[in-house]
Amino acid sequence: MRSHIVAGVALVFFGFSGQALSKVTTAEAERLDEDLTPVGAERAGNRSGSIPAWTGGLTTPPEGWRKGQVEIDPFPEDQALFVITSDNLDLYRDKLSDGHIAMLEKYGPDFFMPVYQTRRTAAFPEHVYDKFRENALTAELLDNGNGVRDTIMTSPFPIPKDGLEVIWNHILRYRGEEISLRSASATPQKDGSYNPVVNDYDYFFAYSQKGAELAEIDNKIFYLKTDTIAPSSLAGTITLVHETLDQVRSPRLAWRYDSGSRRLRRSPNLAYETDLPNSSSLRSVDQKDMYNGAPNQYDWELKGKRELFVPYNAYKLHGPEVEADDVIRPGHINQELTRYELHRVWVVEAKRRTGISHIYDRRVFYVDEDSWQILASEEYDADGNLWRVSEAHNISYYSEPVFWTTMEMTYDLKAERYYIDGLDDGFPAYDFSPGFRGGEFTASAARRAARR
């Protein structure tokens, strides 16, 4: 079995013609312990001091939090420094994305952006930092851009040279080794009415397992099983995904079971521009987690870095007392619960390749320098018009030091509706150590679970 896996991965990662790209020199990699942080961000703050220096991130939970509890706000005394509105946005235009400008102009004064003190909280375990340093010296992006090699556990390119490397950093960023959680999504009507869809999510990150080797993970990034709990009309629906590193030569594997047919079927089209299930056609599959899947439908350009006001440290949205009714409003979420901070972000533009069919002709991503998490994005239609604006509201988790989304949404400027995911609604804290063994993520295991 082991020799079969090794041979298969060798084909995927070493069987391409053409020269591999990337890697940095030893001198460049040494910067990760000098002027750059271990993940590749600028260690120093900005000249004005509005972005502070990185001093290790949030590594100690706040007093009063206990393991097994939902994360509490580590900065309860923080007050907004100022609020950006449709009336004063010109004062801040140079530090706003086009998407946020459009939201302010369309939905103001109800849509506003409370800006808080910048706190660079992103932090990861020390063994993950070690892998960043190793990946910097070995990781290579294959010439077709659809695969990487000689990388493991976390982002491959802490010192990126192009936009495709930045996107791979997001796709492969460290999110723990496994996680189990319950969360709800919704697609509110224009009047704010909604019917939540509640799902249980189980992730096993094969790529990020401590001690894992690339040749042993069978080209898998992670395994995901979702089980729909509510509403009753959807209850019992199970989706199983095997997420692959190179999805062109070894496509994503997906299965879906619905209680109506009582059969587990392959879902070969669960990718790219396909409507995300239960999103009312307001979001595509490749927008889940802000961007996922093979990058082969776009040409990627790194536009550089910008200082932008972006969602960050969203503990008010994540709080154990916050319910869906507190969050959902007509047109957009309750901005009273949001927190924006000034951070440096990598700006990546994706342009649809000639001859490729996709609902988005152009996309712009804003990627956090401290975590490689996409914080915001813009999606444009075939006529070049801004169509949708997406946000990821993130926190630093405590039981496992990771910086990850707690809530994300896509605003459709044409439909004047939005899709939101991450409504906790009193659900238990995320479990970063559920003890999965891997066998829970086979098609036969999903079939057995469906019959129970």
Parse the chain into domains and list their residue ranges.
Answer: 80-450
Q: How far apart are CA 76 and CA 87, in angstroms?
A: 28
Res. 14: pLDDT tops 50: no
- Laid out side by side, the sheet with 21-22 consists of 21-22, 140-141, 148-149
User: Element (H or E) spanning 449, and its range?
Assistant: helix 443-451
Side-chain half-sphere CA neighbours of 13 within 13 A: 23
Q: What is the pLDDT of residue 119?
A: 98
Q: What is the pLDDT of residue 260?
A: 73
Span 407-433, pLDDT tens digits:
999 999 999 999 999 998 789 999 999
Q: How far apart are CA 365 and CA 169, in angstroms?
A: 13
Q: Which CATH superfamily is domain 80-450 in?
A: Lipoprotein localisation LolA/LolB/LppX (2.50.20.10)
Q: How far apart are CA 6 and CA 14, in angstroms?
A: 11
**Is beta strand 340-352 parallel, antiparallel or unpaired with respect to 362-368?**
antiparallel
User: Above pLDDT 90, what percent of the chain?
Assistant: 85
User: Above pLDDT 70, what percent of the chain?
Assistant: 95
Q: Which residue(s) pair with 386 in the sheet?
A: 380
Span 159-177, pLDDT tens digits:
999 999 999 999 999 999 9
Q: What is the pLDDT of residue 96?
A: 98
Q: How far apart are CA 250 and CA 254, in angstroms?
A: 12
With a threshold of 0.85, does the pTM exceed it?
yes
Tokens encoding 68: 């097994």
Q: How far apart are CA 151 and CA 163, in angstroms?
A: 18
Res. 247: pLDDT tops 90: no
Span 286-329, pLDDT tens digits:
999 999 999 999 999 999 999 999 999 999 999 999 999 999 99
Q: How far apart are CA 144 and CA 124, in angstroms?
A: 30
Q: How far apart are CA 104 and CA 86, in angstroms?
A: 5
Would you give the end-to-end CA distance of the chain in angstroms? 31
Distances in Å between the alpha carbon of 234 and those of 196, 250, 263, 446?
A: 11, 30, 14, 16
Q: Which residue(s) pair with 226 in the sheet?
A: 201, 239
Q: What is the pLDDT of residue 426?
A: 85
Q: What is the pLDDT of residue 173?
A: 98
